[in-house]
A and B are shown apart, each in its own frame.
Chain A
Amino acid sequence: MSKLTQRKSMDYIKKQYRETRKMPGSWYLSNYKYKYNITHLQPFLKKLKEKKLVGLKCSGCNTVYYPPRFVCGKCLVKPNRWVDLRETGKVSTFAIAYLKDPETGEIQEKPMVLVHHDGADTASIAQLNPEVDFKDTYIGMPIKAHWAENPVGGLMDVEYYDLMKDDAKDLDLPED
């Protein structure tokens, strides 16, 4: 297309056709069937049922992944050593979400935390005990996993994290 025609066509579109119509359309999410291999998660889920936390350690760089992941991005190899983790950890960062209660319509403040487990090198998303006042949350806050009464081998087995008041007791836990 020559320069002139090109310029002309642009002018033409802009001047002659001022009105632009909206065409309906959508991007259907429900058509997608995502696939995930969960082989590497099975031992982790099994341990959760026994109220135990485990992470996967990379032999290349000694990074401990919790929750486990099947490839260490730093080394591009599969981590292969399971290590036990303590139930304790720290808040590595947090944000407060403002959510509308579906029934009352009230805006509720919900602190969401990223938990860095002692013994792990990764952080995972979690929630605090709903009774904790969000104003008390701070970075580096010591916390401890609170187990569900009847663990089923799912992510909700650690219901939430409790504020840790006396952390001296937990130091006696066996190391990996």
Chain B
Amino acid sequence: MDKVGIVGFYQVKLYSDANYGRYEMIFEAVRGAIDSAGLKKKDITTAISCTNDYYDGRTISNCYTVEVGGGYMADESKVEMDGAHAVLYGLMRILSGNHKLSLVWGGSMASCFPYHAARLYETDPTWERPVAYVNDITAAGFQMRAYLEKYGVSIEDIAKIAVKNRKNASRNPLALQEAQNANITVKDVLDSEIYADPVTELMVAQPCDGVAALLLAPEKQALKITDNPVWITGVGYNQETYYLGDRDLTKSMSMELAGKMAFDAAGIKDPKKEIDLAEFFEAYAHEEVIFSEALGLVDMGEGTNLNSEIDGDIPINPSGGAIGGNPPCGTGLIRIIEAAKQLKGEADGYQVKDAKKAIASGQIGMCAQNNIVYILEGGN
């Protein structure tokens, strides 16, 4: 596939209960992204939004966001998945040759609704919803337990991931304040409230308020807009079966297939050597391990042994990841923005040295049923 440039981006500061309305937040992100590229409203020919009717409590959740979301008289559409999937649609529109600049924004306000209750409506209405025992949290419990048992990994090793991400988040000024903790210990994580054993509160990516936006342009156009674009050189997405019993929960089939597709597109043979950093949407701490194994960044079962600190072998989630703040429909998009920041050398305080190629991912569904992976490259 042809490479596509990220020419501008903006993310609002994440809050657990923001003191402003939905439209103001969307406007701030969209205007910020357009300003960051030095463009005008009329340059936007297509606008893709990402919201969810249930998360917003609004049927047709893109109906009232046309004006604030930069969609007025533009070729507009909405992807109802993760923000990273919306970027995919924006990317397709650029690759089609029909559009020269596409605006993508996504996000939601989790303070307006009980996030995990809304996610109950994603379960099978016949078998699982009536009993309500199977939901995104208990499913994560199943998966974490299965992983721990299979590879004989201790729960402390998973807690370490949460510790690392929360420490990283403390260096990211846009991360959620509640998630920023430079002095957190493994004990703190394990002693926090139990959500669904073995998942504890601090291993969960806390839903919050936030919107992010980015601008995509084809190669030629991108170089006109900025001297220093970040290139999307590969993308892959995939959905596996829903039923947890049909899946091997100790790995992520959809991530593996999505990764294959993305690596093929970007011409990456050995991800272990070629990838300099990864930004994953890990809704739960253990997902980071499973994703890095699925993408071949580390051998199967060795995920917890990888040094993924900011100065480690392959830094994972130097921004704090989703554990550093998880605005529904925006998290995957923020991962792409954070990876782009690293490649541009703009990640003040949590910059990875010599970052040239990065992975960013997004997901939806229980145990990350549907995954999307991007390969990003910096420089010209």
- Residues of chain A at the chain B interface (Cβ within 8 Å): 21, 23-25, 27, 29, 31-37, 69-77
Contacts and interface: CB of A to CB of B under 8 A. Distances in A.
B112 interface: yes
Given A37-B24, A73-B67, A31 B114 contact: yes
Interface of B: 18, 20-24, 27, 30-31, 34, 41, 54, 57, 66-68, 70-73, 109, 111-114, 117, 121, 125-126, 129-130
Contacts of A32: 57, 112-113
A31 B113 contact: yes
A72 B111 CA distance: 26
A138 B135 CA distance: 55
Contacts of B113: 31-33
Contact of B126 (A21, A31, A36, A37): A21
20 contacts: A21-B126, A23-B130, A25-B129, A31-B114, A32-B57, A33-B111, A34-B57, A35-B18, A35-B22, A35-B109, A35-B112, A36-B23, A70-B24, A71-B27, A73-B66, A73-B71, A74-B72, A74-B73, A75-B41, A76-B27
Contacts of A70: 23-24, 27
B41 A33 contact: no
A117 B262 CA distance: 55
Contact of B31 (A34, A37, A76): A76
Contacts, number: 66
A37 B41 contact: no
Interface residues of chain A: helix, strand, loop or mixed (majority): loop
Contact of A37 (B20, B34, B57, B73): B20
A33 B70 CA distance: 25
A36 B68 CA distance: 14
A25 B118 CA distance: 13
Contacts of B24: 37, 70
A76 B43 CA distance: 12
B129 A31 contact: no
B129 A23 contact: yes
A76 B35 CA distance: 11
A77 B72 CA distance: 12
Contacts of B66: 73
Nearest to A38: B21
A36 B34 CA distance: 24
A55 B239 CA distance: 50
B23 A71 contact: yes
Nearest to A34: B112
Contacts of A35: 18, 20-22, 109, 111-112
